Structure 1
């Protein structure tokens, strides 16, 4: 859950669209190996310090439950659990795992929350290794531990079955879930206009004081880190009113070995990083927990299968693809086009 480094944001609030003035507060902090920020229209008499503390508590709870880097997290406890045991999970962790397993089934295993052994083997997990491609035997051994169908759930008891050797990695969904948890907290606190961001995944509600929506920019692949506020570095501008957006990209998180570039997106079905033309995928959805792992899923599926899946399930997706001449092109799902309409 810490694979996103500071500054490695593919979708951010546009500086040119940031509301200013005393009616809007900006809160910032750190979580999941990256940063969080909230731009909020605060009600009269609000306690800013209490709001900031509440926001941090929400993201800290996600880390305590779902971090692969925290050896004391609930997820790490599950990964260490003895074979053949049922493990009780907190409600939040259980709901995220339930959704992840449903997506794994729907995508035919292109998305798989048990992909952790492969992620670690390729050097993208908490146990970082020298950046070189593993051999076929090591990949086969890791793949033997991967498979979403190995996990059984007990909805009544909020329990998950550890068959032995299963290593969950919820990095691709927990960040989006954290965005949603912060949004729900702000709703309960009486804040009804805000833009929440965790590591570049965003969710907006309401409008700025001048009545305009929250605008965010989808970064153009190859842009300098943090330069997305420059119009020349923005591929698309999206307004977020009561919806979320997440982007999954490869061009800042990879390694080179033997003249070959290896993406951090591992295909659980093969054990190898994806090697197709997808530079990034952005997904708009009602909840950020829905958008976050869908970007990973569509990236693994690739432009053809991924677009077919997006159309079949009504997913608002924007694919940015590498071209042979060094330029980029777009594939846009019908739902994404509709989401851009006023």
Structure 2
């Protein structure tokens, strides 16, 4: 339900030679389920004596789409976003994600805001084309319909005080979808797996031979003034890896870079020098929300913020004062990196 960025992408190495099944087959078997959902692809690798049905995975993702997809006119969220509707009875998926959205709205002091869609569209990052960039009057008018203070929850009901308010859960719902799939696997006794959806990952357990799960990560290097990407490896035994970035999706206006990360409090793009951020967190929903929050910060602020969060570590790519690409990460990320181990 959101963009998958080229700046920092992940591939489960179980699909490559590094994690290929050894000649002496070890039980349980390595199994794979692939498919398309939420405008992107999903890939599940798990170790089990029993085969999971792809139709069950597709059914789960379809249920989530019927709840929170803004691209499905019949979904619960699309009904709520209609101007003649002021409340809706939430299903379990929407209720979980809305509760988390309020949590991260408070944690970020209003930066994480699921009502920001009108501003995103105004700047040309929504589903409709624009003919020109907005002026201050247009931005001020749009801000009237933005703000989670115009939403409240009563039991299962989500209520908006302003009928023009719309919500978009793309910044958190895809991570939630990954967690739901992970819970489905664990409920069926599967203890070792990687679930990937649109670049968001949830990892659990080790391979039958005791080796850790490995994830490929692309890191920037400068050669003769030009940036290229090298592949490295991180190892994860449990938790989630998510990423956000602005490497591709941005506009230039009079020398100023305008990204799709719009501040819901001002209506303008953040002036951060961040290029991308990778988050390691206990759940994919946590990582999904946090990576958006980190993108609004300076690298120093992001690292300090992550250090205060339990079980959260980050890896950031940013532009220094000379416009050159640099990288930094929290100390906890050292445990994930296998430095200089190339995948080729």
Given the two structures, how large is their TM-score scaled by the length of structure 1? 0.86
Structure 1 pair 248/334, CA: closer, same or farther in 2 (3 Å)?
same
Superposed displacement of residue 81, structure 1: 5.3
Cα distance change of structure 1 residues 221 and 141 upon mapping to structure 2, 3 Å threshold: farther
Change (3 A) 1:170 1:17: farther
CA–CA distance in 1 between the matches of 2:332 and 2:51?
A: 39
Deviation digits for residues 93-144 of structure 1 (CA, Å, limit 9, x no counterpart): 111111111101111111111111112222222x321374222222212111
5 Å matches for 1:36-75? 36-43=42-49, 46-48=50-52, 50=53, 52-75=54-77
Alignment of 1:274-293 (within 5 A): 274-293=270-289
What corresponds to 1:76 in structure 2?
A: 78
8 Å contact kept, 1:215–1:240: yes
What is the CA–CA distance in structure 2 between the aligned matches of 1:19 and 1:258, rounded to whole Å?
A: 50
Q: Per the alignment, in what secondary structure is the counterpart of residue 307 of structure 1?
A: helix
CA deviation digits over 1:163-218, x for unaligned, max 9?
Answer: 22211111111110011011111112332211000011001111123221111133
DSSP 3-state at the match of 1:152: strand
2:118 partner SS: helix
Q: Give TM-score scaled by structure 2 length.
A: 0.85
Q: CA deviation at 1:162?
A: 1.6
Give the strand-richer structure, 1 or 2. Answer: 2
Aligned to 2:317: 320
Aligned to 2:267: 271
Kindly state the Cα deviation for residue 11 of structure 1 after the two structures are TM-superposed.
Answer: 2.4
Q: Aligned pair count?
A: 324
Distance in 2 (CA, whole Å) between partners of 1:310 and 1:152 is 28
What is the match of residue 115 of structure 1? 116
| Gapped regions of structure 2 (runs ≥ 5) | 223-227, 339-344
Return 92-101 or 132-141, whichever deviates more: 132-141
Would you say the 8 A contact 1:245–1:291 is kept in 2?
A: yes
Q: Which residue of 1 aligns with 2:306?
A: 310
- Which of 291, 303, 314 is 1:295 aligned to? 291
